[in-house]
C-alpha cells in the first residue's frame, strides 16, 4: 500500500487539520496498528520554511512510519516540497491532498476543485512522484469523487495518478458540493477499486470497527481511512484492530467516564508538551471536549467550563467533578461526530469548468486554510 511498508491492520488515521498532531497521533497509535497521518502541510509554506509550518511536522521518536500530507497547486512548488521532505528526512510517506472543499480554497482552484483541471493535476502528481523516487518515499493521493454529481473526476484522476506512479489512492466518497453532509457513496469506492490496479483506500463514514469491515466487504478496498469517527475516541483504533483480527464478533472498547477522564487529561498534557506552552496546549484541547463527552450525562455548565480551560490544574479540578462510574453511552455508538455540515454550491474560479485542459497554476490557492 505504501511501498514496502506493510500496513496491518489496513487502517489509516485520516489527516485532519488542527487535530492529527503528534499528541493526538500518540493517543491513537497506542490503541492499535495502522498508519497515522500528520496534519496537512502547505507546500509553499514548507519550501519557504515558515517556522510555524516546520514546527507542525513533528513526529515522536517511536513513530516508525512518519506519514505526512502535503497540499499544493503548483507542480514545481509541490516537487520542491517533496524534495525537501526527502533531503531533510522529514517523513517516510507523502500523501497529496486533493479533497479540500473549503470555499476559500476551491474559489481559487485548489483542493477538490483541482482534479477537474486534469493536465495540471497530472503534472502535480507526476512531478511529486518523480521528486519522491530518489528518496524511496512512497507517494499517495487523497481525493473526493469530484466537484459535484455532474463533474465527477475520481476514476479519471485515479487512473492518472496510477499512471504517474502513486503507490495507493484514497477516496473520500463524497463530492465537494456535499462537504460532510449525507452519506459517503461506498459504491464509488467499489467502482474505483475495479478501475485501478494500485491499492485503493476507502474513506467516509466509518464510525465503528464493524463499519470498516462492511466497507471492505462492500467495496473490495484494500484499506480504510478513518477521520471523524475517532474524534474524542482514540480507542476506536483498538476496535478497528480487533475487528480486522477477530471479525465482526469483536467486543468494542466501552470506557467508563472515569477512564475517558484519564484520556482527556493525558490528551491535554500531551498537547501542552507538543506545543511547549500550557495555555496554548489547553486552548488547543478545548475543541475536543464535546467529542469526548458525547452521549455522557454531563451538565451544560461543566461542559462549558471544560471547553474553556486554560491550565492543566483547572482541567484536573473540573474532571474531578465527573462521576467516574458512569458507563459508556452505547447509544452514541455508530453515530456521526465532528463536522456534518450541509451541502453547498462549490465556489470556483470564473470559467473553471469550461477548460479542463488549462494548465495555468491557480494563484492564491495555497492558504493556511485546510480540510478535506
Among 172, 179, 193, 288, binds ligand FMN (CB under 6 A): 172
Q: Is 282 a catalytic residue?
A: no
Alpha helix segments (H runs only) across 88-204: 103-106, 118-132, 154-164, 186-195
For CA atoms 332, 21, 75, 45, give the dihedral sign.
positive
One of 100, 221, 230, 282 is an active-site residue; which one?
A: 100
Among 31, 42, 106, 203, binds ligand FMN (CB under 6 A): 203
Show contacts with ligand FMN in window 304-323 (CB under 6 A). none
What H or E segment, with its residue span, contains residue 7?
none
* 175 is a site residue for ligand FMN (CB under 6 A): no
Pick from 172, 162, 159, 155: which is nearest to 140 by CA?
162
Show contacts with ligand FMN in window 5-64 (CB under 6 A). 14-19, 40
User: Is 5 assigned a ligand-binding role in the annotation?
Assistant: no
Show contacts with ligand FMN in window 132-171 (CB under 6 A). 142
Classify residue 341 by burial, with Cβ atoms within 10 Å: 0-12, 13-18, 19+: exposed
* 371 is a site residue for ligand FMN (CB under 6 A): yes
Among 97, 140, 162, 261, binds ligand FMN (CB under 6 A): 97
- Cα 10 from Cα 216, distance rounded (Å): 10
* 69 is a site residue for ligand FMN (CB under 6 A): yes
Pick from 291, 301, 340: which is nearest to 321 by CA?
301
* Least gap, CB of 106 to ligand FMN (angstroms): 14
* 270 is a site residue for ligand FMN (CB under 6 A): no
**Minimum CB distance to ligand FMN smaller for 32 or for 338:** 338
Q: Is 75 left (phi over 0), alpha (psi -120 to 50) or beta?
A: alpha
* Least gap, CB of 272 to ligand FMN (angstroms): 21
* Least gap, CB of 174 to ligand FMN (angstroms): 7
Angle at 78 between CA 75 and CA 82, to 5 degrees: 135
Report strand pairing: 223-226 vs 11-13.
parallel
State whether residue 277 is helix, strand or coil.
Answer: coil
For 230, the grid coordinates are 475517532
Show contacts with ligand FMN in window 319-348 (CB under 6 A). 338-339
* Least gap, CB of 230 to ligand FMN (angstroms): 8
User: Is 16 assigned a ligand-binding role in the annotation?
Assistant: yes
* 271 is a site residue for ligand FMN (CB under 6 A): no
Site string for ligand FMN, 217-236 (x = CB under 6 A): ---------xxxx-------
Classify residue 58 by burial, with Cβ atoms within 10 Å: 0-12, 13-18, 19+: middle
First-to-last alpha carbon distance for the chain, in angstroms, is 21
Alpha helix segments (H runs only) across 165-295: 186-195, 209-219, 236-246, 257-275, 278-285, 289-293
* Least gap, CB of 355 to ligand FMN (angstroms): 26
**Minimum CB distance to ligand FMN smaller for 16 or for 129:** 16
Active site (catalytic) residues: 100
Annotated binding site: 15-17, 69, 142, 172, 227-228
User: Rule CB under 6 A: which residues touch ligand FMN?
Assistant: 14-19, 40, 69, 97, 99, 142, 172, 203-206, 226-229, 338-339, 370-372
Which residues belong to the annotated binding site for FMN?
Answer: 15-17, 69, 142, 172, 227-228
Amino acid at each position: 500500500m505504501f511501498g514496502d511498508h506493510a500496513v496491518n491492520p489496513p487502517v489509516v488515521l485520516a489527516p485532519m487539520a488542527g487535530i492529527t498532531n503528534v499528541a493526538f497521533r500518540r493517543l491513537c497509535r497506542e490503541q492499535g496498528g495502522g498508519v497515522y497521518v500528520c496534519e496537512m502541510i502547505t507546500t509553499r509554506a514548507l519550501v519557504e520554511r515558515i517556522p510555524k509550518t516546520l514546527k507542525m511536522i513533528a513526529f515522536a521518536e517511536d513513530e516508525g512510519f512518519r506519514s505526512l500530507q502535503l497540499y499544493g497547486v503548483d507542480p514545481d512548488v509541490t516537487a520542491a516540497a517533496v524534495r525537501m521532505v526527502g533531503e531533510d528526512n522529514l517523513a517516510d510517506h507523502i500523501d497529496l491532498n486533493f479533497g479540500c472543499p473549503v470555499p476559500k480554497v476551491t474559489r481559487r482552484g485548489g483542493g477538490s476543485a483541482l482534479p477537474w483541471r486534469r493536465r495540471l493535476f497530472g503534472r502535480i502528481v507526476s512531478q511529486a512522484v518523480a521528486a519522491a523516487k530518489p528518496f524511496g518515499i512512497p507517494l499517495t493521493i487523497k481525493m473526493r469523487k469530484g466537484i459535484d454529481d455532474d463533474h465527477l473526476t475520481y476514476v479519471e484522476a485515479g487512473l492518472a495518478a496510477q499512471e504517474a506512479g502513486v503507490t495507493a489512492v484514497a477516496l473520500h466518497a463524497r463530492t465537494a458540493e456535499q462537504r460532510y453532509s449525507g452519506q459517503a457513496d461506498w459504491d464509488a469506492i467499489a467502482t474505483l477499486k475495479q478501475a485501478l490496479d494500485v491499492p485503493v483506500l476507502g474513506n467516509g463514514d466509518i464510525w465503528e470497527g464493524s463499519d470498516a469491515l462492511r466497507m471492505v466487504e462492500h467495496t473490495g478496498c484494500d484499506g480504510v481511512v478513518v477521520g471523524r469517527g475517532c474524534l474524542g475516541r482514540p480507542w476506536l483504533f483498538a476496535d478497528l484492530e480487533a475487528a480486522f483480527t477477530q471479525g465482526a464478533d469483536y467486543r468494542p472498547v466501552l470506557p467508563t467516564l472515569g477512564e475517558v477522564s484519564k484520556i482527556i487529561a493525558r490528551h491535554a498534557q500531551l498537547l501542552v508538551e507538543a506545543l511547549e506552552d500550557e495555555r496554548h496546549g489547553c486552548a488547543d484541547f478545548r475543541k475536543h471536549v464535546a467529542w469526548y463527552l458525547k452521549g455522557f450525562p454531563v451538565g451544560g455548565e461543566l461542559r462549558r467550563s471544560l471547553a474553556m480551560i486554560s491550565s492543566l490544574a483547572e482541567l484536573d479540578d473540573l474532571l474531578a467533578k465527573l462521576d467516574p462510574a458512569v458507563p459508556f453511552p452505547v447509544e452514541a455508538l455508530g453515530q456521526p461526530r465532528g463536522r456534518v455540515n450541509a451541502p453547498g454550491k462549490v465556489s470556483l474560479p470564473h470559467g473553471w469548468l469550461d477548460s479542463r485542459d488549462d494548465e495555468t497554476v491557480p494563484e492564491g490557492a495555497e492558504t493556511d486554510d485546510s480540510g478535506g
